[in-house]
Amino acid sequence: MKSIVAIVGRPNVGKSTLFNRIAGERRAIVDDMPGVTRDRNYAVVERYEKPFVLVDTGGFEPVTEDRMLQQMREQSLLAMEEADLILFLMDAKQGVTPADIEVAAMLRRVDKPVFYVVNKVDGEKIENEAAEFYALGIENLHTISAAHNRGIKDLLDEVQALLPDNTDLEEDEVTRIAVVGRPNVGKSSLVNRMLGFERVVANPTPGTTRDSVDTFFFCNKKRYCLIDTAGIRRKGKTSQKLEKYSVVDALKSIERADVVLIVLNAEEGITEQDKHIAGYVYEATRSCVFVVNKWDALEKDNRTVGKFVEQIMYEFKFMSFAPIVFVSAVTGQRIHKVMEEVAEVAEQYSRRVTTSELNHVFKDAVAAHHAPLHHARRVKFYFATQVAVKPPTFAIFTNQPDGVLTPYQRYLGNRFREAFGFKGTPFRLLFRGRDKSDKRE
List 116's β-bridge partners, or say none: 88, 141
Cα–Cα distance, 18 to 14 (Å, whole number)? 6
Q: Do 155 and 249 belong to one domain?
A: no
pLDDT tens for each residue of the chain, 441 residues long: 568 888 888 888 998 899 989 988 655 444 444 443 334 466 778 888 898 878 877 655 555 555 544 554 565 566 677 678 999 999 999 999 888 888 888 888 888 899 999 999 988 888 888 889 998 888 889 999 999 999 999 999 999 999 887 544 444 578 999 999 888 888 888 988 888 755 454 454 444 444 556 788 888 888 888 886 655 455 444 444 333 334 545 666 787 899 999 999 999 999 888 888 888 888 889 999 999 999 998 888 888 899 999 999 999 998 999 999 999 999 999 999 999 999 999 999 999 999 999 999 999 999 999 988 888 888 999 999 999 999 999 999 999 898 899 999 999 999 999 999 999 999 999 999 865 444 434
Alpha-carbon distance values, 307 to 51, 266, 312, 316 (Å): 50, 12, 9, 14
CA dihedral of 92, 95, 97, 99, whole degrees rounded to 10: 0
Q: Do 344 and 359 belong to one domain?
A: no
Q: How many residues does the chain have?
A: 441
Global pTM exceeds 0.75 = no
The pLDDT value given to residue 172:
53
Phi, psi angle pair for 273, to nearest 5°: -65, -35
List 30's β-bridge partners, or say none: none
Instruction: Please answer whether residues 97 and 18 qualify as being in contact, where contact means their C-beta atoms are separated by less than 8 angstroms.
Output: no
Phi, psi angle pair for 26, to nearest 5°: -85, 85
Q: Do 298 and 379 belong to one domain?
A: no
The domain boundary residue, chosen from 308, 324, 349:
349
CATH number for position 401: 3.30.300.20
Residue 437 lies in a domain: no
Q: Do 116 and 237 belong to one domain?
A: no
Q: Do 120 and 257 belong to one domain?
A: no
The pLDDT value given to residue 170:
45
Q: Do 326 and 366 belong to one domain?
A: no
Name the residue range of residue 329's domain.
Answer: 171-349
CATH number for position 75: 3.40.50.300
* Interior angle at CA 80, CA 79 and CA 82, nearest 5: 65
Residue 282 lies in a domain: yes
The domain boundary residue, chosen from 349, 375, 407:
349
The pLDDT value given to residue 436:
46
Q: Do 114 and 177 belong to one domain?
A: no
The pLDDT value given to residue 45:
82
The pLDDT value given to residue 104:
85
Residue 135 lies in a domain: yes
Q: Per-residue b/e over 391-429, b at no fewer than 16 CB within 10 Å?
A: bbbbbbbbebbebbeeebbebbbebbbebbebbbbbbbb
Residue 252 lies in a domain: yes
Tell how strand 52-56 and strand 41-45 pair up.
antiparallel
Q: Total structural domains in the chain?
A: 3
Amino acid at 328: S
CA dihedral of 423, 346, 316, 421, whole degrees rounded to 10: -10
Amino acid at 251: L
Cα–Cα distance, 296 to 329 (Å, whole number)? 9
The pLDDT value given to residue 62:
54
Cα–Cα distance, 287 to 237 (Å, whole number)? 27
User: By C-alpha distance, which of 411, 410, 412, 399 is closest to 373?
Assistant: 399
User: By C-alpha distance, which of 163, 179, 238, 157 is closest to 39?
Assistant: 179
Residue 109 lies in a domain: yes
The domain boundary residue, chosen from 120, 142, 162:
162
Instruction: Please answer whether residues 264 and 273 qualify as being in contact, where contact means their C-beta atoms are separated by less than 8 angstroms.
Output: no
